[in-house]
Amino acid sequence: MDRRTFLKGTGAAGVVGLAGCTGGPTEGGDGNGDGNSSDGGGGGSGSAEANVGVVYATGGLGDGSFNDQAKAGAERATDEFDVDYEEAQPSEVSEFANYQQQFAGSTNPEYDLICCIGYLQEDALSETAPDYEDRNFMLVDSAVEEPNVSSYVFGEEQGSFLVGHLAGLLTTREFEAGAGATQSDAANVGFVGGEEGSLIGKFEAGYRAGVARAGGDIEVQRTYVGSFNDPAGGKEAALAMYNDGADVIYHAAGNTGTGVFQAAQEAGRFAIGVDQDQSKTKSGYADVILASMVKRVDTAVYTSIENVVNGEFEGGSTTTLGLEQEGVSIEYGQELEGEISGDVKSEIEASQKAIVDGDVSVPSSPDEL
């Protein structure tokens, strides 16, 4: 791979961005689009093996979930390779194409890889990639069949099955830990999604199937807030479920899920996080977070950058990361893990083995339930 000069500047001068948005490519910028250096292996040397642009999903950084997981992958790559990266945080879906094109059209530096985080970027990337055939792109959570795009999708339904099984097992028994407790009069759990669609439908379908595996007559409440960045809406939706008997609520809603955690504390019930171990990234709510369905977006971002550095980028490919590939998993909450009994954990482990072995087929759409 040709080494390309990455001229270092100061501050955020020269940002070519949209009004009201954060970051974006810079001419002679500093590597992350917000005035702070993200040098990685390139340091201050003025050169790097690869220059990478990252366009995050709406909701931005600080979600303790999806976007932060992607950033962790980019930062790991800068720690291990001679890589510089710059990032952009669109606030609206309509801004994806602009940022993708800014990175792809930049000549100083030339970007060796543009990482597009989130399935909502699919339409924009389908238009952008053919216009920039000499640029490499990676897409998380959907697939674009272009020779210069490497796509990564996950077995969200498999990981969601495990946390659903956990929720189902706990709502059918008396359980008290941290700041939460189950109610004794009914078995009832909930699901809060961000924007309704086929991707988040995988989370819902897997969760509901996992709840059903616990047995018994368990009610599953479900709703979609319509946004991945509406904590107030998430709290309102979750409180309605808790007030209607839910013991545990699983969210697949980005930063909207912060409101679910707030509601769990207020109601004295439990919640399940997503994408990262949210008992750590949202540690103020660790006393109600039973577990998280961890989705290794960081692995996808890191692997794509590693492939570019090593000259092994595979455009036109789609990589699936499920339980068997350790692309998804259940992570028990750091504060509540010790309160969850060994027999419950054993049942979860048995479910995981059954899925990996092919003995349990997990639905990927609510329509399959």
- Global pTM exceeds 0.85: no
Residues 174, 287, single domain; the answer is: yes
Predicted pLDDT of residue 8: 24
Residues 120, 61, single domain; the answer is: yes
Predicted pLDDT of residue 53: 98
Domain membership of residue 327 (yes or no) is no
Domain membership of residue 140 (yes or no) is yes
Q: Is the pLDDT of residue 36 over 60?
A: no
Q: What is the DSSP letter of 233?
A: H
Output the DSSP codes for 286-319: TTTEEEEEEE-HHHHHHHHHHHHHTT---TTEEE
Q: Is the pLDDT of residue 9 over 50?
A: no
Q: Is the pLDDT of residue 6 over 60?
A: no
Q: How many Å is the Cα radius of gyration of the chain?
A: 21
Predicted pLDDT of residue 232: 98
Domain CATH code at residue 196 = 3.40.50.2300
pLDDT in tens, 337-347: 999 999 999 99
pLDDT in tens, 261-275: 999 999 999 999 999
d(CA 149, CA 115): 10
Q: Is the pLDDT of residue 50 over 80?
A: yes
Summary mean pLDDT of the chain: 89
pLDDT in tens, 83-109: 999 999 999 999 999 999 999 999 999
Domain membership of residue 143 (yes or no) is yes
Residues 198, 171, single domain; the answer is: yes
Residues 203, 273, single domain; the answer is: yes
197 pLDDT tier (thresholds 50, 70, 90): very high
Residues 286, 248, single domain; the answer is: yes
Predicted pLDDT of residue 23: 60
pLDDT in tens, 175-194: 999 999 999 888 999 999 99
Number of domains in the chain: 2
Residues 283, 174, single domain; the answer is: yes
Residues 161, 73, single domain; the answer is: no
Residues 249, 311, single domain; the answer is: no
Residues 30, 169, single domain; the answer is: no
Domain membership of residue 330 (yes or no) is no
Domain membership of residue 244 (yes or no) is yes
Instruction: Name the residue range of residue 103's domain.
Output: 4-154+297-321
Residues 150, 255, single domain; the answer is: no
Output the DSSP codes for 2-52: --EE----STTTTB---TT-EE--BTT--SSSSSS---GGGTTSSEESEEE
Residues 231, 250, single domain; the answer is: yes
Residues 27, 69, single domain; the answer is: yes
Q: Mean pLDDT, to the nearest integer, of 125-143?
A: 97
Give the amino acid at 116.
Answer: C
Domain membership of residue 95 (yes or no) is yes
